[in-house]
């Protein structure tokens, strides 16, 4: 599959801080998606982006589809303890999704 480079690999932050993570690829994608995985569960869709340049918000989460179609970022504002988990970016060019390796987020009260 097409490789997605997701960074950072992990983050350890204090409650209330803002968080930013990003994903890049050498390939162009038609759709970018961001998922969150809680411990012991499957990933859950947070935000889907369908057009280059698109900026979309979902509560405290904001994500953008890069102009080049080869990158995307996710921001979380005013983090809270329940934001803990692994965040995955995913890009779609062919039939199935290609996933990044994930960003592990830890939030201390």
Partner 1 sequence: NAGVTQTPKFQVLKTGQSMTLQCAQDMNHNSMYWYRQDPGMGLRLIYYSASEGTTDKGEVPNGYNVSRLNKREFSLRLESAAPSQTSVYFCASSDDNNYGYTFGSGTRLTVV
16 binds partner 1 (CB under 8 A): no
Q: In what order do the strands lie in the sheet with 71-76?
A: 4-7, 19-25, 71-76, 61-65, 55-58
106 binds partner 1 (CB under 8 A): no
For residue 42, the minimal CB distance to partner 1 (Å) is: 3
Nearer to partner 1, 19 or 90 (CB): 90
Task: Give yes or no for a contact between 109 and 81, defined as CB atoms under 8 angstroms apart.
Answer: yes
Footprint of partner 1 on residues 36-95 (CB under 8 A)? 40-45, 48, 50, 88, 92, 95
For residue 57, the minimal CB distance to partner 1 (Å) is: 16
Preceding omega of 8 cis (within 30 degrees of 0): yes
For residue 18, the minimal CB distance to partner 1 (Å) is: 24
What number of chain residues touch partner 1 (CB under 8 A)? 23
**Measured between alpha carbons, how far is 16 from 36 in angstroms, rounded to an integer?**
19
For residue 16, the minimal CB distance to partner 1 (Å) is: 29
**Measured between alpha carbons, how far is 30 from 12 in angstroms, rounded to an integer?**
31
């Amino acid at each position: 599959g097409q490789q997605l480079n997701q960074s950072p690999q992990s983050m350890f932050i204090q409650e209330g801080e803002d968080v930013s993570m990003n994903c890049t690829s050498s390939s162009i994608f038609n759709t970018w998606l961001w998922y969150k995985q809680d411990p012991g569960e499957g990933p859950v869709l947070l935000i889907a982006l369908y057009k280059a340049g698109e900026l979309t918000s979902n509560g405290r989460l904001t994500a953008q589809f890069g102009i080049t179609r080869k990158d995307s970022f996710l921001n979380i504002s005013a983090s809270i303890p329940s934001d803990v988990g692994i965040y995955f970016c995913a890009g779609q060019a062919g039939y199935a999704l290609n996933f990044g390796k994930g960003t592990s987020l830890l939030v201390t009260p």
